[in-house]
Amino acid sequence: MQTIAPERVEVSSERLTFLDNALQRYVDQGKVAGVVAVLSRRGQVFHARGYGAANLSTNQPMQPDTLVRLWSITKVITAVAALICYERGEFVLDQPIADFIPAFGSTPVYAGMEGDEPRFVKQERPITIRHLLTHTGGIPSGFGGATEPPEGMLRAKIKALQTSHVSLAEIVESITQVPLVAQPNTLWRYGQSFEILARLVEITSGLHFADFLQTYIFDPLGMMDTSYVIGDNQIDRFSAFYTRAQDGSLTLLEAPSQSVHYISNGHRPPGQWQYGGAGLVSTASDVQRLGNMLLNRGTLDKVCILAPSTVDLMTSNHLRADLLPYHFPNAQPIYGYGHGLGVHTLMDRGLAGTPSATGEYWKDGGSGTLLWVDPHYELVGTVCYQLDPFWIYPIFATTKALTYQAILA
Cα 367 to Cα 255: distance, rounded to the nearest angstrom? 14
Mean pLDDT of the chain: 95
Residues 188-245 pLDDT 10s: 999 899 999 999 999 999 999 999 999 999 999 999 999 999 999 999 999 999 999 9
Q: Which residue would you say has higher pLDDT here, 261 or 266?
A: 261
Using alpha carbons, select from 257, 262, 274, 356 the residue that is nearest to residue 57: 257
Torsion of CA 267, 268, 270, 275, to 10 degrees: -150
Q: Residue 112: phi, psi to the nearest 5?
A: 100, -175
Domains and CATH numbers, the chain: 6-69+239-253+281-404 (3.40.710.10)
- Model pTM score: 0.97
List the single range of 113-122, 144-153, 307-316, 354-363 with lowest mean pLDDT.
144-153
Answer for the pair 242, 53: CB distance below 8 angstroms, yes or no: no
pLDDT at res. 142: 81
Establish how many alpha carbons lie within 13 A of residue 15's alpha carbon, considering only the half-sphere containing its beta carbon. 14
Judged against a pLDDT cut of 80, whether residue 247 lies above it is answered with yes
Task: Read off the pLDDT of residues 37-72 as tens digits, 9 standing for 90 and up.
Answer: 999 999 999 999 999 999 999 999 999 999 999 999
